[in-house]
């Protein structure tokens, strides 16, 4: 039965032999996948498996925004080719840990998902030109002033562009508009602060990363992370920091 992945994904073939057929725009290939191998499925590719024996596997969906964020940090293309039946012990190990954790959510799953994206882009993304200097200036300005109010005009000025031109180029480079990127970076910093000190009051966390108050932090944190800061902090306190 064929299926087309809406978002990019990595598949761990834990057990059993199958033939994996890949097709897009009339072009395709087939390759056998067996125990311990992995496959990379970009968005938009049709995948048609033929099972030669009972099989077991894990599909790790990759959020496009996370792929774009990691690619920006690494200076790579935010994508990878369709590849089936790869022998990649590192990627197999990360996915196997996810399997044993039974997927789910939480600091560990977040860290493992980011590790999957980082490894795939570092090892399989096509070669890319260095991150543009204007983007690095804007990103550095964000990181240096994360606890202060920041406007698109300020970021455009740091990049040396007009607001309209900056917004258009930034969205293309980062995969999301400047304000969304800024909010995401603030939430990531908040996660780091709570991992470093789970006892830090949430009101202090909000102020430190530039949210106007705790409720503002909670609203964006829940939207991006899938749970409240209090729930995340409780997990960190119980399980310890992760990634």
CATH of the domain at 162: 1.10.10.60
Query: What Cα–Cα distance (Å) separates residue 51 from each residue in 21, 54, 71?
Result: 11, 7, 34
Q: For residues 87 and 36, what is the distance between their CA atoms, to the nearest angstrom?
A: 7
Q: Check whether residue 147 and residue 75 sit in a common domain.
A: no
Q: Check whether residue 67 and residue 139 sit in a common domain.
A: no
CATH number at residue 77: 2.60.120.280
Nearest by Cα to 62 from 133, 115, 17: 115
Q: Check whether residue 90 and residue 185 sit in a common domain.
A: no
173, 132 in Cβ contact below 8 A? yes
Q: Check whether residue 118 and residue 193 sit in a common domain.
A: no
pLDDT of residue 243: 38
Where helices occur in 50-197 by DSSP H, the ranges are 64-74, 89-100, 107-124, 133-144, 152-159, 163-174, 178-196
Q: Check whether residue 171 and residue 98 sit in a common domain.
A: no
Q: Check whether residue 18 and residue 117 sit in a common domain.
A: yes
Contacts made by residues 136-140, CB under 8 angstroms, sequence distance 24+? 138/166, 138/170, 138/178, 139/72
Token pair in block for residue 216: 């503002």
Task: Provide the number of structural domains found in the chain.
Answer: 2
Q: For residues 169 and 167, what is the distance between their CA atoms, to the nearest angstrom?
A: 6
Q: Check whether residue 45 and residue 117 sit in a common domain.
A: yes
Q: For residues 13 and 59, what is the distance between their CA atoms, to the nearest angstrom?
A: 9
Q: Check whether residue 119 and residue 206 sit in a common domain.
A: no
Q: Write out the residue range of the structural domain in which residue 109 sits.
A: 3-124
Q: Check whether residue 108 and residue 195 sit in a common domain.
A: no
Q: Would the pTM count as exceeding 0.75?
A: no
Q: For residues 19 and 187, what is the distance between their CA atoms, to the nearest angstrom?
A: 41
The residues of the chain scoring below 70 in pLDDT are 1, 25-27, 103-105, 127-130, 237-243
Angle in degrees, CA 234, 188, 191, rounded to 5: 20
Looking at 66, 93, 124, the residue that finishes a domain is 124
42, 80 in Cβ contact below 8 A? yes
Q: Check whether residue 209 and residue 234 sit in a common domain.
A: yes
pLDDT of residue 242: 41
Looking at 124, 149, 183, the residue that finishes a domain is 124
pLDDT of residue 241: 43
Q: Check whether residue 137 and residue 45 sit in a common domain.
A: no
Token pair in block for residue 6: 């809406």
Token pair in block for residue 164: 């309209």
Looking at 124, 158, 187, the residue that finishes a domain is 124
Q: Check whether residue 47 and residue 87 sit in a common domain.
A: yes
């Amino acid at each position: 039965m064929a299926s087309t992945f809406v978002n990019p994904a990595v598949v761990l073939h834990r057990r059993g032999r199958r033939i994996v057929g890949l097709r897009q725009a009339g072009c395709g290939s087939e390759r056998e996948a067996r125990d311990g191998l992995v496959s990379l499925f970009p968005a938009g590719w049709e995948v048609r498996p033929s099972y030669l024996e009972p099989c077991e596997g894990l599909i790790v969906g990759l959020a496009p925004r996370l792929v774009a964020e990691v690619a920006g940090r690494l200076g790579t293309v935010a994508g990878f080719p369709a590849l089936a039946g790869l022998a990649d012990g590192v990627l197999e190990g990360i996915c196997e840990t996810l399997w044993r954790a039974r997927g789910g959510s939480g600091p560990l799953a977040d860290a493992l998902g980011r590790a999957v994206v980082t490894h795939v882009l570092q090892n399989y993304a096509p070669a890319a030109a260095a991150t543009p200097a204007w983007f690095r200036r804007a990103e550095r300005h964000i990181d240096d002033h994360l606890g202060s109010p920041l406007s698109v005009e300020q970021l455009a000025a740091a990049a040396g562009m007009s607001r309209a031109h900056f917004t258009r180029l930034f969205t293309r480079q980062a995969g999301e508009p400047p304000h969304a990127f800024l909010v995401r970076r603030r939430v990531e910093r908040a996660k780091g602060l709570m991992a470093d000190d789970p006892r830090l009051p949430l009101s202090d966390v909000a102020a430190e990363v530039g949210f106007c108050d705790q409720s503002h932090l909670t609203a964006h944190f829940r939207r991006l992370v899938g749970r409240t800061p209090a729930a995340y902090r409780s997990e960190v306190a119980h399980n310890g920091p992760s990634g």
